[in-house]
Amino acid sequence: MARDEIVSHDGEALILVDELDREIGSKSKAECHVGNGVLHRAFSIFVFNGNDELLLQKRAATKPLWPNYWSNTCCSHPRYGESMEQAVIRRLEQELGFTCPLEFLYKFKYHAQYGSIGAEHEYCWVYHGRYDGPVDVNVSEIADWRWIGVDALERELAEAPERFTPWFKMEWAHIRRNFLDSLLARTGTDG
């Protein structure tokens, strides 16, 4: 199954934050990502299925930053005036056609430059969830998707790290070190 629905645009207002993740205003999505980027709030979601496989997505070829790179299940931004809880559920449904309970893991600040085109400069909140139902991708956002086991993912990251987004590599390393055993020890999924 696949949909082709525009769910994001360069003019949407994102939440600007300071070095402590305190809200300080807003700028357009385009302004937040041009040049070296402007620090703004974002999120990343990691969804596992009942077989302890992670849902990966390949970013659409039309993305200005890191097109056709593999990344975590879903990543985006809360819009100005929108809570993080609203944003993560909204975007998961818009990109992948499902929702599931999500739990906050941690947040971190990072900067990643994509040549002269632009950058991600984000205070990123990281969430995880479990899901075993159907996936209905939005092809305006996602070029491909797949479930992958932890060992296979580790091999791919070691053999071809250049195929993955920089934030995914940072987040996965942190999750692997600090959360993975407890996440995979949980049982039960919704869907």
Query: pLDDT (tens digit, 9 = 90+) per residue, 74-97?
Result: 999 999 999 999 999 999 999 999
The catalytically annotated residue of 75, 95, 100, 171 is: 75
Under DSSP, is residue 111 helix (H, G, I), strand (E, B) or coil?
Answer: strand
pLDDT in tens, 32-84: 999 999 999 999 999 999 999 999 999 999 999 999 999 999 999 999 999 99
Q: Let me know if 122 is a catalytic residue.
A: yes
Mean pLDDT confidence for 111-133: 96
* Spans of all domains in the chain: 2-183
Strands (DSSP E) found in 49-168: 53-59, 70-71, 74-76, 102-114, 118-130, 137-138, 142-149
Topology of the domain covering 2-183: Nucleoside Triphosphate Pyrophosphohydrolase (3.90.79)
The catalytically annotated residue of 95, 122, 141, 171 is: 122
pLDDT in tens, 16-33: 999 999 999 999 999 999
pTM: 0.93
Asked if the model's pLDDT at residue 6 lies above 60, the reply is no
